[in-house]
């Protein structure tokens, strides 16, 4: 992954006719929130679209609810969630087969994922917090990418996992830890116990889920940055910023 124009871009992105990446706070708050300190959401998203060369009126961004609903963006719902919550659809992942639609999910410690199927030319953006990860929204989204076309295979999919909270910072209670300890050894090894407290490497769990879906390791570009403790670049972080403020970065993908 490389930082270009203050956007983290997956190494594989340049192979395809797509624009995708993960913003840094240079682009201000990108999340659908009523507490936006850094400019307005419309201005911030317009700034992002200008930087990547897409149309801000053709954004699709769900209202994220920590579930496993995968939405489909097309001409009928284009613009939902583009500039505010009022017309946003509830869901934590979205896919599209149409060129020119910028899919956006947002995060501040949760895990952002970008997916692209180069066989069917289908794109997806995912938000996976601990609840969404426990529900395996990543697998739901991969299934949605494969659903329409019998020729599709996981080996056609390219994936990128952006910065998110890791075991260094993410202390969780017994109930959260138990839900991941029950998911098999590949996932359970990312739950550790130190001084009687559990730490969860949520970002590594999402990576394991992609592997379990059959995505090829050499098709996955993964950031290893923790949003909570990493200073370069500095990220919005729910844990660091506190619960009264919610601002986030964008994960975006647009096929051109
Ligand atoms: Zn950390």
pLDDT along the chain (256 residues), means of 10: 95 97 93 75 95 97 96 97 93 98 94 96 96 97 91 95 93 96 96 94 97 98 90 73 78 98
β-pair partners for 159 = 115, 220
CATH code at position 234:
3.60.140.10
Number of domain units in the chain: 1
Ion ligand 1 residue ranges (Cβ < 5 Å): 168-169, 226, 228-229
Q: Which domain holds residue 80?
A: 2-255
Q: Residue 152 Cα, ligand 1 centroid: separation in angstroms?
A: 37
Q: Residue 169 Cα, ligand 1 centroid: separation in angstroms?
A: 4
Sheet holding 102-107, edge to edge: 2-4, 7-9, 18-23, 249-255, 102-107, 59-60
**Selection from 190, 137, 139, 142 nearest residue 165 by Cα:** 190
Tell me how crowded residue 11 is: count the other CB atoms within 10 A of its CB.
Answer: 11
Half-sphere exposure of 176 (CA within 13 A, CB side): 19
Q: Residue 225 Cα, ligand 1 centroid: separation in angstroms?
A: 8
β-pair partners for 63 = 90
Q: Residue 239 Cα, ligand 1 centroid: separation in angstroms?
A: 10
pTM of the model: 0.95
Tokens of 127: 């938000």
Q: Residue 109 Cα, ligand 1 centroid: separation in angstroms?
A: 9
pLDDT at position 228, please? 86
Q: Residue 212 Cα, ligand 1 centroid: separation in angstroms?
A: 25
């Amino acid at each position: 992954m490389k930082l270009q124009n203050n956007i983290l871009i997956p190494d594989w992105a340049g192979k395809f006719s797509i624009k995708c990446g993960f913003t840094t706070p240079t682009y201000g708050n990108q999340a659908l929130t009523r507490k936006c300190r850094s400019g307005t959401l419309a201005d911030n998203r317009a700034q992002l679209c200008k930087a990547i060369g897409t149309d801000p009126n053709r954004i699709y961004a769900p209202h994220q609810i920590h579930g496993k609903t995968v939405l489909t963006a097309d001409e009928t719902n284009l613009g939902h969630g583009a500039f505010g919550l009022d017309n946003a659809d509830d869901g934590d992942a979205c896919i599209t087969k149409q060129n020119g639609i910028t899919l956006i999910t947002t995060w501040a410690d949760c895990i952002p994922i970008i997916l692209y199927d180069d066989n069917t030319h289908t794109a997806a953006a995912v938000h996976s917090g601990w609840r969404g990860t426990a529900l395996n929204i990543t697998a739901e989204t991969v299934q949605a990418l494969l659903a329409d076309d019998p020729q599709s295979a996981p080996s056609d999919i390219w994936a990128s996992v952006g910065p998110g909270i890791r075991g260094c910072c993410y202390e969780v209670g017994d109930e959260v830890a138990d839900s991941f300890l029950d998911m098999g050894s590949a996932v359970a090894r990312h739950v550790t116990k130190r001084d009687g407290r559990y730490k969860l490497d949520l970002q590594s769990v999402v990576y394991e889920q992609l592997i379990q879906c059959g995505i090829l390791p050499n098709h996955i570009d993964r950031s290893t940055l923790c949003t909570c403790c990493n200073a370069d670049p500095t990220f919005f972080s729910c844990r660091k910023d506190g619960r009264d403020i919610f601002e986030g970065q964008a994960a975006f993908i647009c096929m051109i």
